[in-house]
Amino acid sequence: MSHSRQKLVIGNWKMNGGYRSAQALLQPLVTAGVSAVVAPPFVYLSESARQLAGSSVSLAAQDVAAEAGYGAFTGEVSARMLAEAGVRYVIVGHSERRQYYGETDAQVAEKSLRTVEEGMIPVICVGETLAQREAGQAFAVVSAQLMAIADCCGVDFLAGAVVAYEPVWAIGTGRTATPDDAQAMHAHLRGVIAGRNPGIAAGLRILYGGSVKADNAASLFAMPDIDGALVGGASLLANDFLAICRAAGL
């Protein structure tokens, strides 16, 4: 039933880019008319929204505060502010946030809730480390991360969300995840959700976030349970990112 799920490609710029390079990266996407999503750093969101106005490129934020509305939380950016800035998707629980900043499943659930409360779509990241994979815990770890969201928010919550699987073990380690590796995990995650609600599982878009590049995108997207990509480094190269979008039929 994969044909019924619209592919989605999100470019996560992480802590990269300057004012001019951000503009230069967006212009080819607008010109090409692709239906993609880009996640610039917070400081470029408003300017990017202006540049993308009227185009088929949507805006994502790389993170969001777990706290609602407004308040005395220095350095935080709330979901309400992001929505006002024109953001449509919010990346939550990225492996780097979990690894470097100690984000917990509970915090990721809170951030996901705040995102939906303000009318945006959370992109919920899950993934296992090399140690966890080598210990044979990959499926258990990733299932637990996803089910923490379902347990907190209810499985129906996932009808308004996107999931991104990041094989942390294959990012920057020299190890590679094959399309079959990725498909196995995506199928497992969909199966876990199907145990609670088959309809939501069938419609849930599960993106792959493991070093997707122009030359491996097509083989990944051919897999029945891979519904697109969360792209890191390649999203900083307009031509590479466009090639990935075209491989997804966008």
Higher pLDDT among residues 71 and 175, named by residue = 71
Please write down the HEC assignment for all residues of the chain: CHHHCCCEEEEECCCCCCHHHHHHHHHHHHHHCCCCEEECCHHHHHHHHHHHCCCCCEEEECCCCCCCCCCCCCCCCCHHHHHHCCCCEEEECCHHHHHHHCCCHHHHHHHHHHHHHCCCEEEEEECCCHHHHHCCCHHHHHHHHHHHHHHHHCHHHHHHCEEEECCHHHCCCCCCCCHHHHHHHHHHHHHHHHCCCHHHHHHCEEEECCCCCCCCHHHHHCCCCCCEEEECHHHHCHHHHHHHHHHCCC
Is 119 a known ligand-binding residue?
no
The boundaries of the domain holding residue 61 are 2-247
pLDDT at residue 171 in the model: 80
pLDDT value at 172 more than 80: no
For residue 3, what pLDDT band results from cuts at 50, 70 and 90? Answer: very low
Q: Which of 96, 103, 118, 166 is catalytic?
A: 166
> How many structural domains compose the chain?
1
The answer to the question of whether 172 is labelled as a binding residue is yes
> How confident is the model at residue 170, as a pLDDT?
84
94 is an active site residue: yes
Q: Is 12 within any annotated ligand binding site?
A: yes
CATH number, domain with residue 168: 3.20.20.70
- Please tell me whether 111 is known to bind a ligand: no
Q: Could you confirm whether 186 is annotated as catalytic?
A: no
Q: What is the pLDDT of residue 53?
A: 95
